[in-house]
Chains A and B, each alone.
Chain A
Amino acid sequence: SQTIHQWPATLVQPVGSPLSLECTVEGTSNPNLYWYRQAAGRGLQLLFYSVGIGQISSEVPQNLSASRPQDRQFILSSKKLLLSDSGFYLCAWTSDRNYYGYTFGSGTRLTVV
């Protein structure tokens, strides 16, 4: 079966520290992968998406970057966190959205202090 793993579940980081969030998908090949962010009390904002290894599209210019080093691995990074980077980060994937839609991970709640 297809599963998505996202970790850690919660993270508290000081301003100026680096960030690395990882997402992996199992049970499928060549998925489309996505990173979303949800600030407190706000909607879901698409940050990055990838349709293949090494292919990253950015939706919102910001302090973050994404990489896809392997087919089923998607990483969200920052060199120096800002207070405004706090939020709920969600990874998602789809391989055939006309049948299965998009599947979301359980999320990482990041607090920058």
Chain B
Amino acid sequence: DAKTTQPPSMDCAEGRAANLPCNHSTISGNEYVYWYRQIHSQGPQYIIHGLKNNETNEMASLIITEDRKSSTLILPHATLRDTAVYYCIAEMDSSYKLIFGSGTRLLVRP
């Protein structure tokens, strides 16, 4: 599975959009990009995933660049409850394993 690179920490103001970047320059054509988050002392929570196209669900939007070498998770209106560690993971379609990196610690400020 391709290595992903994320900034160690970010912050944003409550009510504003949070844009979390992820670099996956060595991603292959059959690797999906997954985003999870972990709120303190809880298990990780699935947010969204995509292969080539941009995706949106009730939690967030995922923007994947045309060359697929990077992506951005967008939380459109961040709340204090969105404070968490966000993980970007590239996983091959044929893989059975989800390998976590160090993630981005997002702090949403009041």
Residues of A within 8 A of B (CB): 32, 34, 36, 43-46, 49, 51, 57, 59, 88, 90, 92, 97-98, 100-107, 109
Task: Take A98-B32, A98-B93, A101-B49 as given contacts and tell me if A46 and B98 are in contact as well, using a CB distance cutoff of 8 Å.
Answer: yes
Task: Take A43-B101, A101-B34 as given contacts and tell me if A32 and B44 are in contact as well, using a CB distance cutoff of 8 Å.
Answer: no
Q: Is the interface of B mostly helix, strand, loop or mixed?
A: loop
Name the residue among A36, A43, A101, A104 with the largest chain B CB count within 10 angstroms. Answer: A101
- Name B43's closest neighbour in chain A (CB-CB): A104
Q: Name the one of A45, A100, A106 contacting B42, with C-beta atoms under 8 angstroms.
A: A106
Q: Which residues of B contact A92 (CB under 8 A)?
A: 43-44, 98
Interface members, chain B 10-29 (any A CB < 8 Å): none
Q: Which residues of B contact A103 (CB under 8 A)?
A: 46
Query: Which 10 pairs of residues, A with B, have the shortest CB-CB distance?
Result: A104-B43, A101-B46, A44-B100, A90-B43, A104-B44, A107-B43, A102-B98, A43-B102, A43-B100, A32-B96
Q: Which residues of A contact B34 (CB under 8 A)?
A: 101
Q: Which residues of B contact A32 (CB under 8 A)?
A: 96
Using a Cβ cutoff of 8 Å, how many contacts connect chains A and B?
54
Q: Which residues of A contact B102 (CB under 8 A)?
A: 43
- Indicate the size class of the contact surface on chain B: 20 to 34
Interface members, chain B 24-53 (any A CB < 8 Å): 32, 34, 36, 38, 41-46, 49
Q: Which residues of B contact A49 (CB under 8 A)?
A: 96-97
Task: Take A43-B102, A92-B98 as given contacts and tell me if A105 and B43 are in contact as well, using a CB distance cutoff of 8 Å.
Answer: yes
Q: Name the one of B36, B87, B97 contacting A46, with C-beta atoms under 8 angstroms.
A: B97
Name the residue among B42, B43, B44, B93 with the largest chain A CB count within 10 angstroms. Answer: B43
CA distance A45 to B97 in the complex (A): 11
Contact string against A for B residues 53-90, beta-carbon threshold 8 Å, 1 for contact and 0 otherwise: 00000000000000000000000000000000001000
